Amino acid sequence: MNKQKCDILLALNNSPFINQRLLSETSGYSLGIVNRCLKELLEKGYLNEEMQPTELAKEELEKSRPERAVILAAGYGMRMIPINTETPKGLLQVNGETLIERVIRQLQEVGVRDITVVTGFMKEAYEFLIDQYEIQMVINMDYASKNNLHSMALIKEKLRNAYVVPCDIWCEENPFHRNELYPWYMVCDLVDDESNVRVNRKQELVRTELGGNRMVGIAYITGEAEQKLQDKLGNMDVCPEYQECFWEEALFDDDRMYVAARMVPSQKVYEINTYEELRELDASSKQLDSRVLRQISEILQVTDQKIESITVLKKGMTNRSFLFSCEGQRYIMRIPGEGTGELINRQQEYAVYQALADSHISDQVVYMNPENGYKMTRYLEQVHNCDANDQEEVRKCMVFLRKFHEKKLQVAHAFDLFEKLEFYEALWKGADSCFRDYRETKRKVYELKKYIDEQPKEWTLTHIDAVPDNFLIADSDEAEIHLIDWEYAGMQDPHVDIAMFAIYAMYDRAQVEALIDAYFPEGCSEAVRRKIYCYIAVCGLLWSNWCEYKRQLGVEFGEYSIRQYRYAKEYYRIFQEEQNGISG
């Protein structure tokens, strides 16, 4: 049976036949299609003369009857910031009912009780579902570094006659049924610029690059699609190129999905991705009463309704931040990320911003809490991050950096490289490094300390995290530069900032040399150059240790962490070669 005949048979199984016109209205098919399908269903023995499903039809219905469901609830829900710092997306309340509990209730209403919830971020918040609804829980430990294709791969054996449901969906009417006859994926009739599928004339889902039907995320898997999806998930999950893919990628054969389209009206289904989408759906939802937004309201002395256009910024390595508008001005609110209470001394950071006040070096701080690290700044309009591969932009940033260093600003605390290296290692709480030769690499890096200590230094406030992304260059006046994010700043040899820029940009040797020359246009002595090599090695191991701690918290940085470790080893070797007069 094709999709049309299946839909007509399902309609007749759910309601008794009255006439073709009424069946056309309820099924959504034209009268001509209805008449043709009825004729063929009769000929094939699926309907009797009274237009009732036969035993043959009931056998088909039983084979593909919904038996289980998988609810995907592992991700951060980053676009829900700031709510996602307090509540996982699946537990948002709409009209007094959490999203995930509504989905579970709707599944149970049609007899589906074998339900698996895949969790990850804030997994403990979902634990109550196990007892209250007798669900099963599977934990995706890689939720921070992999998209939900990995979640699906973890439960691929549970996809026989199964619904797949995102946790952030709210359906006005129950989208599930006691009977299904074929596999499908749900889209709505609303055009979405971010969608990569559209429904063609054959009611197939095909790829598009110009925007298509909004993807709802609910699907039903049965028949041949089950094994095909299992195989694809297994193969794709082990390929790094699919690490950040949504699971729907496994539904494609080239340019089209091998499951049918299930079209629903947009006003019947809501995917809640942002704070403002939740506010639009349920203005009384208790999650809208966010402590972060209350704080913003107090700082700016406005009501919550004045806080608009909330947009998550790219997840930083230390914090989660979001952009918002209020009365014509845009701001950035910083929320400290996982484990940052261990990594950052917020009192010291506050002291740095006090030292920078009125210097026009950094962005403008509107509010900062030295206890919890929450910070609000005015958004710098029409600026861009320094392009580490643009030599002229890098040169201008080095000129700016040197002028900052020459101001000789002072604070009461220092950033001791070796002390921090040990501190980050201590945060592993006895766990071994993931690098097998870590102890040997660390020993070699410590050999560099004697040379560093012997070199003369101009002790001053140093940014420590002076990386390309933290230099903001004005689009209209490239002479105007701001250096932001001073969390790690403290008293140190300012040449450490050159090393930090290089290793974050993941520069090769030639680029490192060009960077040093840009900071020292008058020329750099060999002793200072070798000192910077030492800093590159030490800082590489420092940030490698930092990455290992964050990895234990479920935050992965991919190639960055390995490259930092490589800097420790390679620049130890380069220093030794230069110090011993061996040509590099």
Sequence ranges of the domains in the chain: 3-63, 68-271, 290-379, 390-579
What radius of gyration, in Å, describes the C-alpha atoms of the chain?
29
CB neighbourhood size of 567 (10 A): 27
- Token couple for 16: 């008794």
Q: Is the peptide bond preceding residue 88 cis, with omega within 30 degrees of 0?
A: no
Is 498 exposed, middle or buried, given 0-12, 13-18 or 19+ CB atoms closer than 10 A?
A: buried
Q: Which option is the CATH number for 390-579: 3.90.1200.10, 3.40.50.10860, 3.30.420.40, 3.90.1150.10?
A: 3.90.1200.10
Class of domain 290-379: alpha beta
At 285 the pLDDT is: 59
Equal fold, 3-63 vs 68-271 = no
- Token couple for 580: 């011993």
CB neighbourhood size of 216 (10 A): 24
How far apart, in Å, do the first and last CA atoms of the chain sit? 71
At 317 the pLDDT is: 46
DSSP 265: -
pLDDT tens by residue, the chain, 584 residues: 788 889 888 888 888 888 888 888 878 888 999 899 999 999 999 999 989 999 999 999 999 999 999 999 998 765 556 655 667 888 888 888 899 999 999 999 999 999 999 998 889 999 999 999 999 999 998 887 788 999 999 999 999 999 999 998 999 899 999 999 999 999 988 888 888 899 988 888 999 887 888 899 999 999 999 999 999 999 999 998 898 899 999 999 989 999 999 988 888 888 877 666 776 776 665 655 567 778 888 899 998 788 888 777 754 445 678 888 999 999 998 877 655 666 688 999 999 999 999 888 998 999 998 888 889 999 999 999 999 999 999 999 999 999 999 999 999 999 999 999 999 999 898 889 989 999 999 999 999 999 999 999 999 999 999 999 999 999 987 679 999 999 999 999 999 999 999 999 999 999 999 999 999 999 999 999 999 999 999 999 999 998 888 777 766 667 888 999 999 999 999 999 999 885 44
**H/E element, 424:** helix 417-426
Please state whether the predicted TM-score (pTM) of the whole model is above 0.75. no
Please give the CATH topology (third level) of the domain spanning 3-63. Arc Repressor Mutant, subunit A (1.10.10)
| Those residues with Cβ within 8 angstroms of residue 53's Cβ, 6 or more apart along the chain or in another chain | 9, 12, 13, 46, 47, 61
**375-378 vs 365-368, strand pairing mode:** antiparallel
Q: How far apart are CA 248 and CA 259, in angstroms?
A: 11
Q: How far apart are CA 445 and CA 393, in angstroms?
A: 31
Q: How far apart are CA 170 and CA 165, in angstroms?
A: 11
Query: What are the phi and psi torsion angles at 133 (to 5°)?
Result: -125, 0
Q: What is the CATH number of domain 68-271?
A: 3.90.550.10
Q: Are 113 and 134 in contact (CB under 8 A)?
A: yes
The 3-state DSSP class for residue 408 equals coil
Q: Are 386 and 518 in contact (CB under 8 A)?
A: no
The 3-state DSSP class for residue 443 equals helix
Q: How far apart are CA 436 and CA 459, in angstroms?
A: 36
Q: Are 366 and 487 in contact (CB under 8 A)?
A: no
Half-sphere exposure for 266 (CA within 13 Å, toward CB) = 7
Q: How far apart are CA 526 and CA 208, in angstroms?
A: 57
Only one residue has tokens 């256009």, namely 309
Q: Are 274 and 79 in contact (CB under 8 A)?
A: yes
At 179 the pLDDT is: 93
Q: Are 532 and 517 in contact (CB under 8 A)?
A: no
Q: Where do the H-state alpha helices sit in 275-318?
A: 275-281, 291-300
